[in-house]
Structure 1
C-alpha cells in the first residue's frame, strides 16, 4: 500500500478563494480551531432564485481597509461557534473552493467579526484535513514551491 506524502505548511500561509475573488489572502493556520473563520462586515441574509444566500464585505488587504470586496454565497449551514475567548455566537457557514500551494478543494468557512485579530482568516483543522502537516516554526511554505 502506498500513501501520499503530506505537504508541510507553516503557521502562516497564503490562500486563494476563487469564488470570492480573493487571491493571496494571508491566513493563520490554527489546528485548535475546528472550522475556518473569515472576518467580514455587513452580513445580510437574503433569497436569490429560491436559495438562502448571504452577502458580505471583506477587506482582503489588511494594510488597505479602503479596498472592499463585496461577496455573496449560498448559506451552507448556521452553527453555534465558541471562540477562543470563550464566547459563543451563531454564525453563517459557507462552503467555497480554496487553493493552497498545489492543492484545490472545498472548505467550510464561518463568517464573523475578527476585527480585533491580527489575521483576517483562521485556517482550521477541518480545512487542513489529511492533506497537510503543520510546522509551526515555518511561514508561507506553500508559496515557496
Structure 2
C-alpha cells in the first residue's frame, strides 16, 4: 500500500485494545459517531500516584457475559456526549492504543453503558481518522 492509499474496513471489524488486555473485540464502525465508545460496568473514579484514574469492568465477548476483564486507565477527559437516541450524558474518556490489522495507534474512547446495543464498542470517525475508508457492504475485512 502506498502512502496515498487507505486501507478498506467494513461496517463490522475486530480490534485489539492491548493496554486493556483485550486481544479481540468486535466493533461496529460508525462514521456518524465522532468518538468511539465502549460498554463498561462498575465505573469507579480514583487517585493513583497523584493521577486521576478510572477503574471499570468490560465484557470482551458479547456471547459470554460471564467473562469479565477489570481494567484501569488514566482519565483523559470528561465530556458531555449526545447518544444516537438524543439523550446527553457526561462520560469519562480514556486514551488507549488500538490495533486493527497491522496498524496500531492511540484513540479516545468514552466509557458508557451500551448493554442495550448490539455491539459492545462503537468505532467512531476520530478513530478511523485518515487511515481507513469504510465500505459498509463489507464486514471483518481486517481479520
TM surpasses 0.5? yes
1:27-42 paired onto structure 2 within 5 Å:
27-42=27-42
**Greater than 2 Å deviation, 4+ residue runs:** none
CA–CA distance in structure 1, aligned partners of residues 66 and 131 of structure 2: 35
CA–CA distance in structure 1, aligned partners of residues 47 and 142 of structure 2: 37
Scaled by the length of structure 1, the TM-score of the pair is 0.96
Provide, for residues 64-99 of structure 1, a one-character-per-residue CA deviation record: whole Å limited to 9, x for no partner.
Answer: 111000000000000000000000000000000000
- SS of match in other structure, 1:134: strand
Instruction: Name stretches of at least 5 consecutive residues in structure 2 with no aligned partner.
Output: none
Instruction: Name stretches of at least 5 consecutive residues in structure 1 with no aligned partner.
Output: none
Q: Which residue of 1 aligns with 2:86?
A: 86
The reply to whether residue 58 of structure 1 matches residue 58 of structure 2 is yes
CA–CA distance in structure 2, aligned partners of residues 24 and 135 of structure 1: 21
CA–CA distance in structure 1, aligned partners of residues 116 and 66 of structure 2: 17
Per-residue deviation, 1:3: 4.0
Per-residue deviation, 1:4: 2.6
CA–CA distance in structure 2, aligned partners of residues 11 and 76 of structure 1: 27
CA–CA distance in structure 2, aligned partners of residues 119 and 70 of structure 1: 19
Per-residue deviation, 1:139: 0.2
CA–CA distance in structure 1, aligned partners of residues 33 and 23 of structure 2: 22
Q: Which residue of 2 aligns with 1:110?
A: 110
- SS of match in other structure, 2:19: helix
Scaled by the length of structure 2, the TM-score of the pair is 0.98
CA–CA distance in structure 1, aligned partners of residues 60 and 124 of structure 2: 18
CA–CA distance in structure 1, aligned partners of residues 141 and 45 of structure 2: 36
Q: Number of matched residues?
A: 142
Q: Which residue of 2 aligns with 1:44?
A: 44
RMSD of aligned alpha carbons: 0.8
Per-residue deviation, 1:23: 1.2
CA–CA distance in structure 2, aligned partners of residues 99 and 4 of structure 1: 20
